[in-house]
Amino acid sequence: MSEKAKPIFHKRIFWDVDFEKLDYDLRANFVIERVFERGDVDDIRNCRRYYGDEKVTEALLNAKFLPETLMHLASAVINRPLKDFRCYTLRQLNPELFPY
């Protein structure tokens, strides 16, 4: 069985880790969350191709944190309502202060 070709992501997405040593399979949830948080459309497509929609959906729904705008993007990409996202529920339990 041949090994799946690794997706090509921009190094700027993983600016704080050793990009060359990043294990895409061992750290799948981290990679998926980071690609959705900092990647562009091509990065997200490559991520979905490599991991498959089921794995991407699972990682995004269980993420502890996603910025609010990215929750909406992820919701549209995986076709799930915001209330299904763990990070959305956590945000509702810990509301931020009013921005005065």
Which pLDDT does position 1 carry in this prediction?
45
Q: Closest by alpha carbon to 77, among 47, 98, 99, 50? A: 47
Q: Which two tokens stand for residue 97?
A: 């202060």
The residues of the chain scoring below 70 in pLDDT are 1-3, 97-100
pLDDT tens-digit readout, 55-71: 999 999 999 988 888 99
Q: Global pTM?
A: 0.84
Give counts: helices (H), strands (E), the chain.
4, 0
Contact 36, 30 (CB under 8 A): no
Which pLDDT does position 73 carry in this prediction?
92
